[in-house]
Structure 1
């Protein structure tokens, strides 16, 4: 038995230059056919058998006696599981003496290959049935011109029979009885074949429905998996966020315990505006209260000391921290005036004006309101 896979692998391109060395001149059409033949081999190596067949047919259009191209078309059809087409090609190949024996081997092996039922195309089988029926019918109709005319008339009568039967049932019965036996046999076989085609279409439609359902299920599964992954990602992010907040609260707690109050203020201010759950909020409130009791005055005293030394840039962040820890502190009018003065002395007039105006608006009856008004006039406001 021929190994068709090995046969197609043994095919090699034709070297045109080598041929030209051995001959005086090669016809242009033959050159074109060889180029297309070599192109087909390239497509075969990429398993593009349909493209290869197209190239080989073009090659034959330039060189009808190109037996190697005919042989390769047949091998391509075998690779494509189109056994009926392959058999027709190999029968053509038998016309060439050098391939007569090989073509017979191909045809015999092809019959064994196709008899095993290796992926025979259903439509190929149906086309074969159509071909056989028509061939059989054609041979018989050559017997006489009269029979051909009868076949044509009978076919017309039967095609219109469905409609006419409704109106003239008796006439149709008589007409069918007069149709030649050969025609009746042909039409009967054609009817069976058409039913096969319809059946194949039904199978294809059912398969399409199954494919659609499978595709829909795959989409649902993918969406479900994606939702699950998104949910898991969201949980991971949520857990990470919560862990970060708890870590900052733990750091603030440790800083308060170690007397590093300014570090604790920075951590707690960063956490203050975050979305805290009940447990985290409770822990934050406790730490903030501890900071008021233990950290407020040490931070203010450090800032006030630097302020009196006229080290305004160094005093400013400490005084602002003190104002953030407790906005109801008794010295708030004085503290806000101090912050405004620090901004003024560091030439940040816009922020200085903000604090001086707050002193005047919130604490108008205090002496610091008049101090703030004087400072604003100094800045030209």
Structure 2
């Protein structure tokens, strides 16, 4: 374990042997982080992936720089089908520790497999489409989409859970149980999967209970193949010949009436219903095709946006790596007192991509480099001014003013105005004389600047009048 202040190796004492800093709390935090990391390893070994994720998040809460924990978290997300979350963890890990980090290999494996990236895009799109269908009440379409998602990514736990939930909603508990068993093979102790399975088992237990048909003495039970048939007992009564004939006549009359009033209208109604059904099915087919076309167009647009987003993430990651590389070059040059090389390297650093500590280092180097640069420019400009080389003087003082307008207590901007006056660049001279007056009022330089402003303004007015007069003539 290294001291967070000086980087020295810590022993059993509660103070750093090198810098004397108290490290008791720090060591406790590191040990707690390592404890949760080891617990996560044990959980992952028995496929308790959800529990492992929770332990790793606790580990990173105590030590955000624990790259092994972050890499393992990415692997578990990847195993659960959460590829985007996995890539995010590996990118952070690589930025924290760019040297000899296995996360770099994980990222290369994913980025070099274009087919896998395309599959990830499609699964995310189809899963989101299934969620939209659920919100719209189109559960059948949602089930179809989720089956496609699982076919493309057999480890996507959330897809299994949503599909099982839809089966429960539709009352298809056997299918829900089979789907949840597949989810258990990936993440054996997922709380959401366990709660869904509990509900499925409860419903299957209720469906398995048989309600009594009648009293046991009134029932007849017998086997028909592999089926058990239960029916009420039949009772018979004796009837006379007259009653038999009467029953036959009544049966014929009833048959005629049934045919006239029930069968014929039923046939007509059936024909009408069949016609209406055919028309409805044709309309549904047209509507479904329109929906599929709209869905495909939306899917294409979403894939294009996703591709653009992924490319931006890749570019952003490259920019971060490049910024840290150039910052390291600037630091090495700064340590060797090569401020010109340090300044050149700093020009290639994007400060917003740096961490807080790296930004502090950047500001420290930049401040000293700029101070050295401004000092050299001022010496060059002042020497050129004294040699009446006003072109070079103006160029040097202008570069100083662009960086720090108040450098040398305003003398840089004052000599810049003086150089422009000698070069007869009146408007620029007036502009910087005015800045001297604004920044340093009640000084001798301000008084001199006011005099030159008045003088140059009068000359500029006379030149304008002469020009207008010449034009009129």
Q: Return the TM-score normalized by structure 2.
A: 0.33
* Higher-Rg member (1/2): 1
TM-score (norm 1): 0.40
